[in-house]
Chains A and B, each alone.
Chain A
Amino acid sequence: MVERVPPPPAQPRSRLRVLLASGAAALALAAGSIVPGVPLGAAPQQAQAADSGKSTLTVAVAQSVDSLSPFLAQKLMSTSVSRLMYDFLTNYDPKDNHAVPALATKWEPSADKLTWTYTIRSDSKWSDGQQATAEDAAWTFNKMMTDEGAAQANGNFVANFKKVTAPSPTQLVIELKEPQATMAALDVPIVPKHVWEKVGDFSKFNNDTKFPIVGNGPFILTDYKVDQYVKLKANKDFWRGKPKFDELVFKTYKDQDAAVAALRKGEVSFVAGSPALTPAQAASLKGEKNVKVNEGPGRRFFALATNPGAQTKDGKKFGNGNKALLDQKVRQALFLSIDRKTIIDKVFQGHAVEGQGYIPPRFSTYFWQPSADQSLAYDPAKAAKLLDEAGYPLKGDQRVGKDGKPLDLRILCHATDPNDKAIGKYLQEWWGKLGIGLKVDCLDNVSVPWYAGEYDLAFDGWSVNPDPDFVLGIHTCGALPVKAKDSATTDNFICDKTYDELYKKQLAEYDPAKRADIVKQMQSWMYDSGYMNIIAYPNAVEAYRTDQIKSIKTMPEAAGNIYGQDGYWSWWSAVPAGSSSSDSSGGSGSTGVVVGIIVAVVVLAGGGLFIAKRRRTTADDRE
């Protein structure tokens, strides 16, 4: 099962070291010394890899794999691995995220916008030698359309499909029910039909029993140990070219500090944050030799959402959101009194960009900024004026409504997110100055009051895809729940005719420039409404060892991030640093042995003295 290179000549020596290290430690434990006795040094693992002549890129990841079946996998870790194992119809350009060829070399819609024809490349082979064809793609989509078990992960992509056929090995035809602009952004791994048609129950098949797994992506998965590691080897036949590293290993580190320690030691080549390294971790790594901290624009936004009055699809109101927030002026006043710059500086400690439109600037095609007169920049005086106009004058130090009740609000915060708590404190201070009371409700799980509409404001955030359709869709009326308190696709109960019309228009618009323009109009509407206030776009902060990775592609190419890219660019492009690293670790290894021997001698001598002393005491006692 496990493809293993024969043990390198250096192995016996390191085995001995491991044996000595383990044995000595066990001895130290048995002898009852609490501070572990320092045994003989063992060379860092990375040196072993270098000895065997294989270049290995080890990536520390926080998530474990939920499934290796692309039909079931939900976690980012698993979907990233799918991206490496199987080719998709299209990929995203690392520069600006526009669709570029992958398994399909060309794609075009019919005149009525309802039929898409894809040309499938003829130079893509499955790792068992068979040709990858349009038949494989058609089979994959049809399976998802007909088998509920196969639709679990990516069913949304085929929801609007009417029929999928493969008239020839290089031609794939997809017929749609309604026009859909996201046809070049179908993030669906295409699997080999001849392997997968043997699968019985798709809802239970995890694709993790037979290795290597047949695929046609840049890497072939060769080994997997639950909760420990995923090993892949470079696919030498990959149509875009073979990856530069021979082997890619994702190693699970459940504790991020331990992962950072592993990077410092050289045990892993790359550490991604989840979603970012903390400012303290980044700062501690910055001075480190052979370590580069990479900071790129994140794909997430961090926002403040107001409750616009929770309602069901058929308009039944529920929840207990504060009525004051139904007034656009009050919502805007709240946002006018948030000093976003302070939040970036103090809470994110500079590792974020000030928020504006709904889509982060990383996705340049869709990024939108308010004009100068539209902008709701920090302006407490204007906020106070708006509150006066809305009928909440200041009485004493409190804003009081027409009903004589003071304006007191609640905000939902994630107890697990320190940023939420810290920002909550700032909001209490700023809004307090304005005369508004704020109760910060930090909960382990905010979803129940959220679905129930029992909140006034909430800290919100989404990871955005290169195609913004999904994050835009969660604010349409169609996303509202059928029954009160049911969870639904809605994020925030927003339902507005203008917005919905724009949403439909953008989805049916096949001209990229025109579509981008509509998406920007939607963001402008959302900004003015005050329902969602984007506070920041947190950066992706990650680090890698320059003595193991010589170069690696970021996305966007100029100053972007590495982990969790759209596409396989980072790991496919990474270039090994050469053999210099094994020299340095060999050196530290021998220093380790010397120090280890000295310490072991001290421990043994100490132990001997201790035992001798004990014997003598027993003899004394006897007398």
Chain B
Amino acid sequence: MTAESTPALVQVADADTEGPAQAGPSAARGPRARNTKAYLQYVAAKIVGAAVSLFAVLVTSFFLFRLIPSDPVKQMTGGRPVSAEQLQSLRRQFGLDQPMWRQFTSYVGDALTGDFGTSFQFHAPVIDKITEALPATLLLTGTSYVLYTALGIWLGTRTAWRNGSMSDRFNTAFALTLYSVPSFWLGLLLIIVFAVGIGPIPGMFPTGGMQSGGESGFAYILDVAHHLVLPVITLVAVGYAQTLLVMRSSLLDEMGSDYLTTARAKGLRDDVVRRKHAVPNAMLPTFTLMFVNLGQVVAGQILVETVFSWPGLGGLFYQGLSVPDLPLVQGLFFVFATAVILANTLADVLYPLLDPRVGR
């Protein structure tokens, strides 16, 4: 069965390479109508590729989690007095007594209609569990995403522009240090220092969770913002270095270019040269990275969500894996993969608009 997924993946790879190859850079100088047509063909190829990838993910997720050697029923009832009849009845309810091929066909059939089944441990539709936890994850990782991307681009530009200066060396080293710090460790450290308080520093933030409970209206928003501070700082601190480094190196590549010398020779102000000429060109690799990261916003950050007891998808995935709660992990895996595939497809589709050399 797994063999079935392999050709599908190959096909995706083909679609990826075919797109730009079909209408290569030579087409760029053609009439405008032809350009539009080529672009639409390119977009269509990307969308077909994405659809094929999604189906491959659907198939893979079924087998992937069945490789985990475990018995969900025994794991769930572990430590409690349970009779053999009860175990049998639970197995029947979960459909685990069915042959593998039947489990597979009904899973794929249901999933195509948007039904990911019922979670074993929570007795609720998987879709409901996911939609319940999704906003929390989007709030946390989305906020962090915006902040670390902005911070990375800004600092990356600054450090590259002052290449070799004290601040460049300091910023790069500092970012790299934070980048290599394990996120859960940094999170715990922040909890000890800024939530519990140490020495003269008072405990200012909650130690975990997303809300104190009981608030409503504006007080609720403030309360959530208050809970959001430490996990966001953690994610931004460990996340901005990547953008910084990509931005820095691509801007350094541009800095020796003739067009910048020309711009300067025209008498343009230094920061105009930087903002209007160098940065837009240097943005392209950063742009790709931004979309790669965007796809991961949905997946959440399992470790940070755990340390801060954030009720998001990352934590849910962990809980699902520990059983393993097959419908739940399959559903989550599919959602995570979909987000990454969609973000990449979006990047592919938008890229030619930013860089005319691609896709025409």
Contact with B along A1-29 (1 / 0, CB 8 A): 01010010001000100110110011001
Contact with A along B57-96 (1 / 0, CB 8 A): 0000000000011110111110111111111011001000
Q: Are A36 and B233 in contact (CB under 8 A)?
A: yes
Q: Are A159 and B89 in contact (CB under 8 A)?
A: no
Residues A252 and B209 in contact in the complex (CB < 8 Å), given A203-B123, A204-B118:
yes
Residues of chain B lying within 8 A (CB to CB) of residue A465: 81
The distance in angstroms between the C-alpha atoms of A69 and B121, with both chains bound, is 12
Stretch at the interface among B196-204, B293-301, B344-352: B196-204
B99 within 8 A of A: no
Contact with B along A59-83 (1 / 0, CB 8 A): 0000010110100101110010000
Q: Are A264 and B196 in contact (CB under 8 A)?
A: yes
Task: Give the Cβ gap from B320 to chain A, nearest Cβ, in Å.
Answer: 12
Q: Are B196 and A29 in contact (CB under 8 A)?
A: no
Residues A36 and B311 in contact in the complex (CB < 8 Å), given A15-B219, A155-B86, A469-B81:
no
Q: Are B208 and A262 in contact (CB under 8 A)?
A: yes
The distance in angstroms between the C-alpha atoms of A469 and B81, with both chains bound, is 9
The distance in angstroms between the C-alpha atoms of A227 and B77, with both chains bound, is 20
A592 within 8 A of B: yes
Contact with B along A429-460 (1 / 0, CB 8 A): 00000000000000001011001000000000
Q: Are B196 and A447 in contact (CB under 8 A)?
A: no
Residues of chain B lying within 8 A (CB to CB) of residue A152: 86, 89-90, 93
Q: Are A151 and B86 in contact (CB under 8 A)?
A: yes
Q: Are B307 and A159 in contact (CB under 8 A)?
A: no
Q: Are B203 and A2 in contact (CB under 8 A)?
A: no
A607 within 8 A of B: no
Task: Give the Cβ gap from B132 to chain A, nearest Cβ, in Å.
Answer: 6
Main secondary structure of the interface of B (DSSP, over half): helix
The number of chain B residues with a CB under 8 A from chain A is 84
Q: Are B123 and A261 in contact (CB under 8 A)?
A: no
Q: Are A156 and B83 in contact (CB under 8 A)?
A: yes
Q: Are B85 and A74 in contact (CB under 8 A)?
A: no
Task: Give the Cβ gap from A450 to chain B, nearest Cβ, in Å.
Answer: 10
A588 within 8 A of B: yes
Residues A34 and B222 in contact in the complex (CB < 8 Å), given A155-B83, A621-B270:
no
Residues of chain B lying within 8 A (CB to CB) of residue A225: 211, 213, 311
Residues of chain B lying within 8 A (CB to CB) of residue A255: 184, 188, 208, 306-309
* Shortest Cβ distance from B215 into A: residue: A4
Task: Give the Cβ gap from B316 to chain A, nearest Cβ, in Å.
Answer: 8
Q: Are A19 and B207 in contact (CB under 8 A)?
A: no
Residues A261 and B195 in contact in the complex (CB < 8 Å), given A36-B229, A66-B122, A592-B202:
yes
A326 within 8 A of B: no
The distance in angstroms between the C-alpha atoms of A264 and B155, with both chains bound, is 37
Q: Are A18 and B223 in contact (CB under 8 A)?
A: yes
Residue among B230, B306, B311 making CB contact with A226, cutoff 8 Å: B311
The distance in angstroms between the C-alpha atoms of A258 and B192, with both chains bound, is 8
B51 within 8 A of A: no
Residues A228 and B123 in contact in the complex (CB < 8 Å), given A255-B307, A596-B204:
no
B332 within 8 A of A: no
Task: Give the Cβ gap from A223 to chain B, nearest Cβ, in Å.
Answer: 7
The distance in angstroms between the C-alpha atoms of A262 and B257, with both chains bound, is 55
B190 within 8 A of A: yes
Contact with B along A221-257 (1 / 0, CB 8 A): 0010111110100000000000000000101111101
A364 within 8 A of B: no
Q: Are B271 and A618 in contact (CB under 8 A)?
A: yes
Task: Give the Cβ gap from B147 to chain A, nearest Cβ, in Å.
Answer: 6
The distance in angstroms between the C-alpha atoms of A276 and B234, with both chains bound, is 28
Q: Are B192 and A64 in contact (CB under 8 A)?
A: no
A30 within 8 A of B: yes
A595 within 8 A of B: yes
Q: Are A21 and B71 in contact (CB under 8 A)?
A: no
* Shortest Cβ distance from B228 into A: residue: A22
Stretch at the interface among A37-45, A103-111, A392-400, A511-519: A37-45
A267 within 8 A of B: yes
Q: Are A261 and B73 in contact (CB under 8 A)?
A: no
The distance in angstroms between the C-alpha atoms of A235 and B14, with both chains bound, is 66
Q: Are B174 and A34 in contact (CB under 8 A)?
A: yes
A622 within 8 A of B: yes
Task: Give the Cβ gap from B274 to chain A, nearest Cβ, in Å.
Answer: 10
B140 within 8 A of A: no
B225 within 8 A of A: yes
The distance in angstroms between the C-alpha atoms of A26 and B210, with both chains bound, is 17
A183 within 8 A of B: no
B108 within 8 A of A: no
Residues of chain A from 353 to 402 with CB closer than 8 A to chain B in the complex: none
Task: Give the Cβ gap from A609 to chain B, nearest Cβ, in Å.
Answer: 14
Q: Are B233 and A25 in contact (CB under 8 A)?
A: yes
Task: Give the Cβ gap from B333 to chain A, nearest Cβ, in Å.
Answer: 18
Of the four ranges (under 10, 10 to 19, 20 to 34, 35 or more), the interface on chain A belongs to 35 or more
A206 within 8 A of B: yes
Q: Are B212 and A489 in contact (CB under 8 A)?
A: no
Residues A228 and B210 in contact in the complex (CB < 8 Å), given A29-B232, A254-B309:
yes
Task: Give the Cβ gap from B211 to chain A, nearest Cβ, in Å.
Answer: 7
Q: Are B208 and A258 in contact (CB under 8 A)?
A: yes
The distance in angstroms between the C-alpha atoms of A507 and B223, with both chains bound, is 54
Q: Are A30 and B315 in contact (CB under 8 A)?
A: no
Residues A156 and B81 in contact in the complex (CB < 8 Å), given A229-B209, A261-B195:
yes
B287 within 8 A of A: no
Residues of chain A lying within 8 A (CB to CB) of residue B151: 29, 32
Q: Are B89 and A148 in contact (CB under 8 A)?
A: yes
Task: Give the Cβ gap from A277 to chain B, nearest Cβ, in Å.
Answer: 16
Q: Are B225 and A22 in contact (CB under 8 A)?
A: yes
Task: Give the Cβ gap from B238 to chain A, nearest Cβ, in Å.
Answer: 10
The distance in angstroms between the C-alpha atoms of A618 and B273, with both chains bound, is 12
Residues of chain A lying within 8 A (CB to CB) of residue B80: 74, 79, 153
Q: Are A18 and B203 in contact (CB under 8 A)?
A: no
Residues A265 and B87 in contact in the complex (CB < 8 Å), given A36-B229, A257-B188:
no
Residues of chain A lying within 8 A (CB to CB) of residue B319: 64
Residue among A21, A76, A229, A265 making CB contact with B207, cutoff 8 Å: A265
A463 within 8 A of B: yes
Residues of chain A lying within 8 A (CB to CB) of residue B305: 254
Residues of chain B lying within 8 A (CB to CB) of residue A203: 93, 123
Residues of chain A lying within 8 A (CB to CB) of residue B284: none
Task: Give the Cβ gap from B135 to chain A, nearest Cβ, in Å.
Answer: 12
Residues A45 and B147 in contact in the complex (CB < 8 Å), given A25-B233, A36-B194:
no
The distance in angstroms between the C-alpha atoms of A196 and B293, with both chains bound, is 47
Task: Give the Cβ gap from B58 to chain A, nearest Cβ, in Å.
Answer: 25
* Shortest Cβ distance from A449 into B: residue: B69
Residues A228 and B214 in contact in the complex (CB < 8 Å), given A25-B233, A204-B124, A595-B202:
no
Residues A596 and B83 in contact in the complex (CB < 8 Å), given A255-B188, A261-B192:
no
Residues of chain B lying within 8 A (CB to CB) of residue A525: none
The distance in angstroms between the C-alpha atoms of A45 and B223, with both chains bound, is 11
Q: Are A447 and B229 in contact (CB under 8 A)?
A: no
Q: Are A42 and B226 in contact (CB under 8 A)?
A: yes
23 of the cross-chain contacts (CB-CB < 8 Å) are A7-B219, A15-B219, A15-B222, A29-B233, A29-B236, A40-B204, A41-B204, A44-B203, A67-B122, A206-B124, A225-B211, A227-B133, A227-B316, A229-B213, A254-B315, A255-B307, A258-B307, A267-B206, A487-B73, A489-B82, A591-B202, A596-B204, A622-B270
Contacts A36-B230, A66-B121, A228-B213 aside, 11 further interface pairs with beta carbons under 8 A come to A18-B223, A18-B226, A29-B236, A38-B204, A153-B80, A226-B311, A227-B309, A254-B309, A262-B208, A462-B79, A489-B82
Q: Could you tell me which B residues sit within 8 Å of A by CB distance? A: 68-71, 73-77, 79-87, 89-90, 93, 118, 121-124, 132-133, 147, 151, 154-155, 174, 178, 184, 188, 190-192, 194-197, 200-214, 216, 219, 222-223, 225-226, 228-230, 232-233, 236-237, 269-271, 305-309, 311, 315-316, 318-319
The 7 residue pairs across chains A and B that have the minimum distance between CB atoms:
A592-B202, A470-B81, A448-B69, A227-B311, A262-B207, A22-B225, A156-B83
